[in-house]
Amino acid sequence: MYDVEEIRKDFPILERRIGEKKLVYLDNAATSQKPRRVIETLTAYYEEHNANIHRAVHRLAEEATKAYEEAREKVAVFLGAPETTGLIFTRGTTESINLVAHAWGRKYLREGDEVVLTETEHHSNLVPWQLAARDTGARLRFIPILEDGTLDMEEAERLIGPRTKMVACIHASNVLGTINLVERLAELAHEAGALMLVDGAQSAPHLPVDVKKLGCDFFACSGHKMLGPTGVGVLWGRPELLEEMDPFLGGGEMIREVHLDHSTWNDLPYKFEAGTMNIAQAVGLGAAVDYLSELGMEDVREHERRLGEYAYRRLSEIGGIVLYGPKEDRTGLVSFSLPDMHPHDLSQLLDEEGVAIRSGHHCCQPLIRRLGVVATARASFYLYNTEEEVNALVEALVRVREFFGAFAR
Ligand SMILES: Cc1ncc(COP(=O)(O)O)c(C=O)c1O
């Protein structure tokens, strides 16, 4: 049984007060809070096992290496990766996508090739491809969205063709809450002889993910959005592709032999893990994944689906509010705006009520422009949020609105 009140007890920060008010944390798409188990894992790692990994033979180094490699196995299982050789620790989604855009893009893209993205990409799945296109002469094409915020799949079928070398797309939108049909996009990519990269920053924390079922070639996500520490994320790639790619960063650990004039590369996944990694953070991510797996991602998804629907319904009762994204099949986040109020003012006033939401372009400037606004406000929910917190958001919004209305008069 999914017991949200029990779950909340695992998250010490949820006890915090903002002034006189109880914290209502609704900025989970930016980063999630951490359960005690993750915090204690980090402390235990530093208090009992800390050492550098893979190099020394002393006891602590062996323990640290074991903990790090166990975390890799846990994350691989969590994402449905068929092996651990393709599971590379990075700093997060941004670094994972940069890795592919550099190590694959610079090697394989040529003038006339096309990389197909969507209008809804986070800057971290857009800017790395702009840089790769600039350096290689490849061209970027964009799948547009329909009015409801879903991808125009007919246009996707037209855009993905013989020139396409890569299709790179968010699994779930951090602005619209849309869940994209990435399985279908992967099929289209493969029919065209292209590869498929999925930005899973907003899916891995919230939905059951199986990279085999998605049919993608690369999958990226961030630990800090899925209960883990900052500074660690994941790139999963098909090992045969990673094998052929050039390294991303050069340095210690990623080499087999180094001569003054050339070097050879270590086996996967170490070829892509140059220098001292974020060891404690990776171990912490392992603990986060244990926590999520024990809750069960189907149940997490169901809880957030219901909460998201409830929030969408309650928010839509506020007169004049504009809600963005599809009505159904969405993740647990809602972007909105109120007439005559800048989202920044809105989130500042909500903060005084103890309600933490986000406002701005959400690192998706082209999408925000496409929506015809300068910014939106966004409430994003996670596995520990409750209907009472949605009510607190709605009530605070109504109060803020009344205050602002009076102010405007
Ligand atoms: C869809 C999406 N992609 C990528 C990122 C970047 O993640 P990170 O900053 O952890 O690298 C985010 C973060 O907000 C995101 O929402």
Per-residue pLDDT tens digits for 199-258: 999 999 999 999 999 999 999 999 999 999 999 999 999 999 999 999 999 999 999 999
Which tens digit of pLDDT belongs to each residue from 61-118? 999 999 999 999 999 999 999 999 999 999 999 999 999 999 999 999 999 999 999 9
CB-ligand 1 contact for 199 (6 Å cutoff): yes
Under a CB-based contact definition with an 8 Å cutoff, are residues 114 and 163 in contact?
A: yes
CA of 95, closest atom in ligand 1: 11
CB distance 170 to ligand 1 below 6 Å: yes
Residue ranges and CATH numbers for the domains of the chain are: 4-26+296-406 (3.90.1150.10), 50-294 (3.40.640.10)
Alpha-carbon distance of 129 to 123, in angstroms, equals 10
Query: Which residue, 208, 206, 227, is CA-closest to 291?
Result: 227
Cα–Cα distance, 152 to 129 (Å, whole number):
21
Contact 353, 19 (CB under 8 A): no
What spatial distance separates the first Cα and last Cα of the chain, rounded to whole Å?
A: 50
Do the Cβ atoms of 136 and 106 come closer than 8 Å? yes
- With a 6 Å cutoff on the Cβ, whether 231 touches ligand 1 is no
DSSP helix/strand/coil, 27:
strand
In angstroms, rounded to a whole number, what is the distance separating the alpha carbons of residues 298 and 333? 17
Which residue, among 67, 51, 68, has the nearest Cα to 59 in the 3D structure?
A: 51
Residue 114, classed as helix, strand or coil, is strand
Helix (H) or strand (E) holding 310: helix 297-316
Query: What's the gap in Å between 284 CA and the centre of ligand 1?
Result: 19
Question: pLDDT value at position 339?
Answer: 85
Would you say the CB of residue 94 lies under 6 angstroms from ligand 1? yes
- Whose C-alpha lies nearest to ligand 1, atom 7? 93
Per the CB < 8 A criterion, the answer to whether 77 and 127 are in contact is: no
Distance of CA 41 to the CA centre of its chain: 22
Per-residue model confidence as pLDDT tens digits over 272-331: 999 999 999 999 999 999 999 999 999 999 999 999 999 999 999 998 899 999 988 999
φ, ψ (nearest 5 deg) of residue 77: -65, -45
CA distance linking residue 371 with residue 392, whole number of Å? 27
Helix (H) or strand (E) holding 235: strand 233-237
Residue 403 has pLDDT above 70, yes or no: yes
For residue 221, the cross-strand partners are: 234
Predicted confidence (pLDDT) at residue 407 exceeds the cutoff of 70: no
Residues 6+ apart with CB under 8 A from 305: 332
Task: Supply the residues annotated as catalytic.
Answer: 363
- If you average pLDDT over residues 185-204, what whole number do you get? 98
Cα(282)–Cα(232) distance, integer angstroms? 6
pLDDT of residue 330: 93
Q: How far is the CA of 313 from the centre of ligand 1 (A)?
A: 27
Q: Is residue 96 in contact with ligand 1, taking CB distance under 6 Å?
A: no
Q: How many helices (H) and strands (E) does the chain have?
A: 15, 17
**Can you give the pLDDT at residue 12?**
98
Helix (H, G, I), strand (E, B) or coil at 10: coil
Is the pLDDT assigned to residue 166 strictly greater than 90?
A: yes
Question: What is residue 178's DSSP assignment?
Answer: B
Q: For residues 25 and 33, give the distance between their C-alpha atoms in angstroms, rounded to a whole number.
A: 9
Write the residue with the smallest CA distance to atom 12 of ligand 1.
Answer: 201
For residue 127, give the H/E element and its range: helix 127-136
Q: How far apart are CA 265 and CA 274, in angstroms?
A: 11
174 CA closest ligand 1 atom index: 16
Give the integer Cα–Cα distance in Å for 261 and 238.
Answer: 30
Q: What is the pTM of this model?
A: 0.97
| Protein residue whose Cα sits closest to atom 14 of ligand 1 | 30
- 12-48: per-residue pLDDT in tens? 999 999 999 999 999 999 999 999 999 999 999 999 9
Res 201: pLDDT: 98
Is the distance from the beta carbon of residue 335 to the nearest atom of ligand 1 less than 6 Å? no
The CA R_g of the chain, rounded to the nearest whole Å, is: 22
Q: Identify the helix (H) or strand (E) that includes residue 44.
A: helix 36-44
pLDDT over 70 (residue 352): yes
**Residue-wise pLDDT tens digits, 378-391:** 999 999 999 999 99
Could you tell which of 90, 95, 222 is best to mutate to test the pocket of ligand 1, judged by most ligand atoms within 8 Å of the CB? Answer: 222
Three-state secondary-structure class, residue 87? strand
Give the DSSP letter string of 150-176. SB-HHHHHHHSSTTEEEEEEESB-TTT
Tally of CA atoms within 13 A in the half-sphere of 144 that contains its CB: 8
